[in-house]
Amino acid sequence: MKDPFSPESIRQRLSVEQISPAQAERLAEAIIGSLQKTCKEWFPGVDYDNWRQMLPEPLLDVLVQLLTWSEDGQIVADHMPTVAAAHIFLDLQNFFTPIC
C-alpha cells in the first residue's frame, strides 16, 4: 500500500514543483508537522502512521498547490510555510468532525 503522506512521498511530490530544494524541504517539514499536530489534537490516542496512511492522496496535491503559490504569485514556502500549513489544516478541521 502506497503512503502518499510519508515524509519521503511528500518530499518526492514537492520535488516536481518549481521551487528550490530548500523551499521544498521547509514546506515538507511544515506539512509533516501540521499532520502530526492534527492527528494528535483531533484523534488523541490514534497511531499517527496508521492515520496518515488513511489520508487520500489527492489531499496532498491540494495542500501542495495551496502552499506553493500565494495569490500574488509569491512562493508561500519562502514567507510562512508553517503558518500556511497550519492554517490549511485548521480550515480542513472546521469542515470535518472527528470520529472518535
Contacts of residues 7-12 at CB distance under 8 Å and 24 or more positions apart, as own/partner, are: 7/32, 9/60, 10/60
- Sorted by where each begins, the domain ranges of the chain are 7-95
pLDDT digits (tens, 9 = 90+) for 5-44: 899 999 999 888 888 888 888 888 888 988 898 888 888 9
Rounded CA separation 66/69 (Å) = 6
pLDDT at 38: 85
pTM of the model: 0.69
Output the nine-digit C-alpha cell for 96. 470535518
pLDDT at 86: 64
DSSP for residue 6: S
What is the overall mean pLDDT for the chain? 77
